[in-house]
């Protein structure tokens, strides 16, 4: 489907694919392909039990000039992601 943090073309199939394990197991399903913001986190939370975020968090640190700015960006993104999951 694509690499984590990739554009959302693979994530369209994730909703359908996440239903497969539910048919045979009660194990929670986590999805995290391309989740970069609260809106995408909300969408994924609509069909998955867990929203996995990795690359977007690392990107916060890499795209800023220093650690202080990186941590500020990381806090803002984390708040946006949490808000997205909660509003779903």
β pairing state of 30-31 and 50-51: parallel
Q: Where are the domains of the chain?
A: 11-87
| Integer angstrom CA distances of residue 13 from 16, 19, 76 | 5, 10, 28
Reading the chain (88 residues) residue by residue, the pLDDT tens digits are 555 554 445 456 787 788 888 889 899 999 988 899 999 999 999 999 999 999 999 999 999 999 999 999 999 999 999 999 998 7
């Amino acid at each position: 489907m694509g690499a984590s943090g990739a554009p959302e073309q693979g994530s369209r199939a994730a909703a359908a694919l996440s239903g497969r394990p539910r048919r045979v197991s009660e194990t929670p399903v986590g999805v995290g392909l391309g989740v970069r913001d609260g809106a995408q986190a909300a969408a994924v939370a609509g069909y998955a039990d867990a929203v996995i975020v990795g690359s977007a968090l690392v990107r916060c640190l890499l795209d800023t000039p220093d650690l202080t700015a990186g941590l500020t960006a990381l806090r803002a993104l984390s708040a946006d992601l949490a808000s997205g999951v909660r509003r779903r």
